[in-house]
Structure 1
Amino acid sequence: MKKLFTLVAAAFMAVGAYAQYTPTQSLHVMGFQFDAAGTTDWNHGAEMTNNNGTYTYTSEGVTLEAGTNYEFKVREGDTDGDWSLGNWGDNENLNADGTPSNVKASVPETAVYTVTITLTPTSASTPTPTFQYKKTGNAGEITHTYTVAGSPEAFFGSNWKQDDANNDMTLVDDPNSDYDGLYTLERNFTAEASTDFEFKVVQDHAWGVAYPASNATGNIPNAGTYKVVISYDPTSHAVEFHATANADGIDAVKTVTVNTDNRIFNLAGQQVTKAYKGVVVKNGKKYIQ
């Protein structure tokens, strides 16, 4: 009898180990634009295909760059802003509220890929979706658009709108400029009182790649008219905020937010390992290793 009980218990545990969560709505890949058409973001995702409880999404002809973390999640339902149902991400790294953080995917070289994301849900938040890639071709010349999205709306003209072309940054090509080689957004701003800024630099009008990981911030302490410059370094991913009082030309505020994920890049902007010899950029600073 004891042996029979043990077998029944073992069978129950085995069934439990493979128990599946049954979504009530379709599942969608949210975040980085894995589709070549560029229609997925953090509001509306790419629908996954359900094959007996295993959900997959495959996209062909996607250009991915080495040295970039492409972030995504899988969400149940595709209602704008609604994350109240199933929510699958990186279960090894949880957010403060206990939900999974974004999955960070990367590739070893800049090329054209077929991407497949797979999930067999066992609960409303587990397991972590898998990311697979297969190189299918070489990438041509890659150019990006960088846009500042954030608040206050009085400065940006929109509120955290990642595809607002009015906030696209310009690459500075002037050896005499402090911003040579950087992307900048520059405009005059009249503050009625002390004003806080919070923002990100968004790549290609989509939230999949944005810097810094936590929002950049800045502050104008007093009322007045200021020349505001937000800059972005595409090599180190450093973001800076400058506000200069127009009356006296004094740099009133400088808030610097630097990417601090300890990744290492060469001077061409390519991610390298600790074995690389030469001048490298790490956390916004240059080193010789």
Structure 2
Amino acid sequence: MKKIFTLVAVALAAISANAQDYYAAATYDADGNVVMANEFQNAVIDTQNGKSVVTINLNNVTMTAVGGTTPSVIDKDANVSEWNTIEWKTGNQGDIEFPYINGTGNPYVKLTAEEIVTDGVPTGNYRPAYEYYEPDGSKGLPVSGLYYEFNAKAEGTLVLGVWINKGNRKLFVVDKETQKALTPNVDYTLGGYENGVNKEDGSKEYNMSIPTKGTEGDDLYIWGYKGGSQAIWGWLQIPMKANQTYMVFLHSAQLGLSDVEFEAGTSGVSEITSSEINADAPIYNLAGQRVSKNAKGILIQNGKKFIRR
């Protein structure tokens, strides 16, 4: 079954070959082990600045993934003399064939230092303190820690396979120019799976559009039917303007990345008529599983994506 994911990746890459880009950050090998893409395996670690930057140039979109870490030794002026380990690693939601990569570090806007106090007595030693992004952009954008940037040459739709291990952390998609967060389920959507949301037979339930916890404030950026208490894995679908940069990250946790797909000239996944589908061809979902002909959601058949509601 794990080989199906690779087959679907090939099928996705073949759709509208002149307009579509596809990149898998992690895949399965023949033995079912998760393997990260070469770019992340060979990522350069900047130990002086505590970060690692990986750039992926596709035909129509460029992705920059920034991983960071936390200071090991810091002084009162927030000067770092030693950083903890920076790394890229793999993860696997194996029951639905969802491999992903993950970097280290919370995506902070500003690094400061606070003195360690023991039993009310200042020790003269310091530890890191952080300021994090606010959705109105008032505190600025992340400068280190794990975040992703995407810039497209043409207008189109970006689809990201993402793993949210801590469902109670806010997920932001940000217009880098305005520094403001986009509105979930208005400017972009998230479809996929939430831990604990199952069908009657106990298998995972795929949802076309996962809701956010609430409609305003912090709750607007926390996803899930269970109010953000569970892990979520699925696909962010983000309409992009040409020559505009978007950032994607969690507030104070690490966002796993499975794959990247960009289709120029679209504003979303469009439906195709039944006449365009060979009814006898196998059908797969976006997780790479072969599904029944009655399955619903975003499906792939004959190398084409379509929606069945």
TM-score (norm 2): 0.24
Structure with bigger gyration radius: 1
Higher relative contact order (CA 8 A, sep 6+): 2
TM-score by length of 1: 0.26
